[in-house]
Amino acid sequence: IDLQIEVQRVKYRELNDETLAESSKSIRTRVESARQIQTERFSKAKNLVNAEMSSQQVKEFCKLDEASEKLIKQAVEQMHLSARAYYRLLKVSRTIADLENSPAILVNHLAEALQYRQRFE
């Protein structure tokens, strides 16, 4: 699994808050939908999920708009990302976009993926 998140302690007032979080059922539905998108994407390939994409597949399925291109360029330069980290970032961004049922990777998907990797690499 490429997504790993360090979780902070939750304060009591947040635990006792009346607002409802996204339900497990809703999350499951989004995950199943994302998996279906990936099944269709890779119907003619050997891989089943985004994490298994080759660099050629990343180039095909992880095209970025101008704002995302600018953000990833800045991240590569400032964070000194390796080629492996660059491709992993794009794969995670593609998965986040799939979870939102977005056909394109948007700058917010890329920013979220960057947020996840900063703590671990």
Residues whose CB is less than 8 angstroms from the CB of residue 71 and which lie 6 or more positions away in sequence, other chains included: 107, 110, 111, 114
The answer to whether 2 touches 91, Cβ cutoff 8 Å, is yes
What lies within 8 Å, CB to CB, of 72 at 6+ separation is: 64, 86, 89, 90, 110
Say what the pTM is: 0.82
pLDDT of the chain, 121 residues: tens digit per residue: 556 667 778 888 877 777 777 889 999 999 999 999 999 999 999 999 999 999 999 999 999 999 999 999 999 999 999 999 999 999 999 999 999 999 999 999 999 999 887 554 4
Is residue 56 classed exposed, middle or buried when 0-12, 13-18 and 19+ CB atoms within 10 A define those classes? exposed
Q: Could you count the other beta carbons within 10 Å of the beta carbon of residue 115?
A: 10
Euclidean distance between CA atoms 93 and 68, whole angstroms = 10
